[in-house]
Structure 1
Amino acid sequence: MPLSAGKLWGMRRMADANGLFKMTAVDQRPPIKAAIAKHYGTDTAPYDDVAEFKRLLIETLQDKSTALLLDPHFAIPRGLPTLSPTKGLIVTLEDSIFEDTGKGRRSSPIDDWSVGKIKRMGGDAVKVLAWYRPDADPEMNRHQQDFTKRIGEACAKYDIPFLFELLVFPLDSDAHQTKDYVEMQGKRSDDVLKSVEEFAKPDYGVDVFKLESPVSAADVPGVGEGDWQAVQQTFDEMGRLAGRPWVMLSAGASKPAFRKILTHAYKAGASGYLAGRAIWLDAFGHFPDWSRIRDELSGDAGTYMDDLNALTDAEATPWHKHAVFGGEGEAFSPADASFRHTYGDI
């Protein structure tokens, strides 16, 4: 089924001319703020330092990106003048502060921020992250489901793509505990797969999934290495359950590990990546030496992106060729003068 006009335009804006997503995440808040605050020995990070790092990421990495994911706290106020108008603009909606009861996590939108504001400022897509575990407290899971449905409905109302990120997390009963934005140690593939299956239901209105590896990054061999076929089966199942275009997130994986993950994802039908720390974390380690950060972003990080982009060009599936569109992913309907009569008003 063809996409609505606004969603079609947003999907095209995020991708390259071949329909592939090579997207860089600059919206991270806790991983950046915490490291800067630790450097200064303070409880909070200076706004200017966080914002300058994000601005620098945009400046140095956008040429190799088809779109960038920005947050309204730091990246947009300081970085939007730097962002090329030829690049897609994805804007994050969820607050990085979440409620954790030990039995589940509750997400919420950033205060005074909305899908309508993202559309009004010229955003090409809305990104939302929701923590989810099928075995979490049912009440918490209902909250996460309702939260996601409301975002999906708003994205349909404002006719803008909904890019949805899922992450599993530890419950009190798990051995490994962390509230950091990193891959959960000891995660179970079934938890990832069942989460994707839930949010692939049409009620949620997801247009693109941003997914974590269903297998712990350290255990992903890369296509053609070791016992890769067993891992590939899990990725294949994730792609089948997603049922629409999807991209991989890096979740703090190392550069080599994330590349291996992508080889499996692309074989399973992924259309690209939306990654942050795998690309820029090594450079960030030189904070507060801005000159050295810039050099590494322009050097090693750029070279790494060249490699990821070449892999994406060679092996990823263009988003519009996904089976969900029945060969009409790029079709505009109705393709005649009746469009203005049938296209809905807000």
Structure 2
Amino acid sequence: MSVSAGKYWGLRRMADSAGRFKMTAVDQRPPIKNPIAKARGTAEAPYDDVARFKRLLVETLQEQSTALLLDPHFAYPRAIDVLSPRKGMILTLEDSVFDEVPGGRLSSEIDNWSVGKIKRAGGDAVKVLAWYRPDAAPEICRAQQEFTRRIGEACARYDIPFLFELLVYPLASDAEQTRDYVEMKTKRADHVLASVEEFARPEYQIDVFKLESPIAAGDLENTAIDTAELFREMGQLAGRPWVMLSAGAGKPEFEAILKHAYAAGASGYLAGRAIWLDAFAHFPDWNRIEDGLRGDAVAYMQRINRLTDQHARPWFDHPRFGGQKFLVPDDAGFRASYPDFENG
């Protein structure tokens, strides 16, 4: 499998020199806005509170990160001046407000935002979350597939890596109901695996998967479940480098998830709340938040980074690349063969 010049450079920017991803998510909107609004007693979270917290996350956690995932609403405008140019920058494209319709959930892009704008703003990669249930209404599945396909085509056109996140969610018929960005405790492994299998198809042009555990974090040590086999199957179905998301898991639970994922060939993590949620619980005491981030959050990142260094697979060692790090033609004709935006 060849790697285009722009995507190769973006993948390198996202990872450390050994090809492992240690990425911190600062793009969350409802998981940050809702607790702030509740604490302030307001219908909407004040912009300055949300932006201030995101800037603090960048300032305190970037040293331990290979890349940071920012949103264009709060994190990019408030923190771009403190983000180190030595760190990769991923920008999110999906709107945090999704449509809940009888047959399932529909995702959409943030208004006035696009792959092209992410590229122009200096982004090293585009991140998109798509809610997906293979057993949702057929028209919902088709819409989510088209949404993803359209973004994959734009990422290919602008030659920027496409980092794709999948989350299963409750349908109206499920006993467990939530609109929060958290793991479904009653999720089925076959739903997770079938979703990965669908979007691993080449027409979506995904470069890196950001995946949830195939089983609920609380069931990882259930001896009745072959956890290792489920992670192995998920990695095989992905067919490209993949990293783990935390989905609101606690620190010990996420560390356990990473151990299983790395044994199955994952190349790192892209996580947020597992790292910074404990510190955020002190809002609006900014001093305690900062102390928690610089203390426990950094210590936790150092621990999972050691785990990542020891056990994660470098992205360029994935079988997808046939053992070759750089597959752009090594000859003087590169400039002629490399397409521009206008000519495709």
TM-score, length basis structure 1 = 0.97
The answer (yes or no) to whether the contact 1:129–1:167 under 8 Å persists in 2 is: yes
Amino acid at match of 1:213: S
Structure 2 equivalent of residue 312 of structure 1: 308
Amino acid at match of 1:271: S
- Give the one of 285, 289, 298 matched to 2:285: 289
- Give the one of 220, 240, 264 matched to 1:268: 264
Local SS of the residue matching 1:244: coil
RMSD of aligned C-alpha atoms? 0.9
Structure 2 stretches lacking a partner, 5+ long = none
Determine the C-alpha separation between the residues in 2 that align with 1:227 and 1:239: 21
Determine the C-alpha separation between the residues in 2 that align with 1:41 and 1:255: 29
Structure 1 equivalent of residue 226 of structure 2: 230
Whether 1:69 aligns to 2:64 is no
Structure 2 equivalent of residue 93 of structure 1: 93
* Aligned residue pair count: 341
- Give the one of 334, 339, 342 matched to 1:344: 339
Local SS of the residue matching 1:274: strand
State the 1:185 CA deviation: 2.2
**Compared with structure 1, are the counterparts of its residues 229 and 107 closer, same or farther at alpha carbon in structure 2 (3 Å cutoff)?**
closer
State the 1:220 CA deviation: 1.2
The answer (yes or no) to whether the contact 1:130–1:167 under 8 Å persists in 2 is: yes
State the 1:333 CA deviation: 1.9
State the 1:230 CA deviation: 1.1
Structure 2 equivalent of residue 84 of structure 1: 84
Deviation string 1:166-194 (CA, Å, 9 cap, x unpaired) is 00000010001000000012000000000
Structure 2 equivalent of residue 210 of structure 1: 210
Amino acid at match of 2:332: A
Whether 1:253 aligns to 2:249 is yes
Amino acid at match of 1:230: D
Whether 1:38 aligns to 2:38 is yes
Whether 1:26 aligns to 2:26 is yes
The answer (yes or no) to whether the contact 1:149–1:205 under 8 Å persists in 2 is: yes
Identical aligned pairs, as a percentage?
Answer: 69
Deviation string 1:85-133 (CA, Å, 9 cap, x unpaired) is 0000000000000001142100000000000000011100000000000
Determine the C-alpha separation between the residues in 2 that align with 1:275 and 1:36: 20
Local SS of the residue matching 2:226: helix
Determine the C-alpha separation between the residues in 2 that align with 1:300 and 1:5: 38
Amino acid at match of 2:197: E
Determine the C-alpha separation between the residues in 1 that align with 2:25 and 2:79: 13
Determine the C-alpha separation between the residues in 1 that align with 2:307 and 2:44: 39
Structure 2 equivalent of residue 334 of structure 1: 329
The answer (yes or no) to whether the contact 1:124–1:160 under 8 Å persists in 2 is: yes
Amino acid at match of 1:165: E
Determine the C-alpha separation between the residues in 2 that align with 1:72 and 1:188: 33
State the 1:38 CA deviation: 0.3
State the 1:41 CA deviation: 1.3
State the 1:307 CA deviation: 0.4
Determine the C-alpha separation between the residues in 1 that align with 2:326 and 2:134: 36
Local SS of the residue matching 1:209: strand
State the 1:40 CA deviation: 1.2
Structure 1 equivalent of residue 119 of structure 2: 119
Determine the C-alpha separation between the residues in 2 that align with 1:84 and 1:200: 33
**Compared with structure 1, are the counterparts of its residues 266 and 281 closer, same or farther at alpha carbon in structure 2 (3 Å cutoff)?**
same
Whether 1:280 aligns to 2:276 is yes
State the 1:229 CA deviation: 7.7
Local SS of the residue matching 1:53: helix
The answer (yes or no) to whether the contact 1:125–1:163 under 8 Å persists in 2 is: yes
State the 1:227 CA deviation: 3.0
Local SS of the residue matching 2:54: helix
Deviation string 1:287-322 (CA, Å, 9 cap, x unpaired) is 011111001100000000000000000000000000
State the 1:228 CA deviation: 8.9
Whether 1:302 aligns to 2:298 is yes
State the 1:58 CA deviation: 0.2
Deviation string 1:274-296 (CA, Å, 9 cap, x unpaired) is 00000000000000111110011
Determine the C-alpha separation between the residues in 1 that align with 2:302 and 2:103: 41
The answer (yes or no) to whether the contact 1:220–1:228 under 8 Å persists in 2 is: no
Whether 1:142 aligns to 2:142 is yes
State the 1:206 CA deviation: 0.3
The answer (yes or no) to whether the contact 1:182–1:252 under 8 Å persists in 2 is: yes
State the 1:336 CA deviation: 1.5
State the 1:46 CA deviation: 0.1
Structure 2 equivalent of residue 165 of structure 1: 165
Determine the C-alpha separation between the residues in 1 that align with 2:172 and 2:327: 49
TM-score, length basis structure 2 = 0.98
Whether 1:240 aligns to 2:236 is yes
Structure 1 equivalent of residue 154 of structure 2: 154
Amino acid at match of 1:95: D
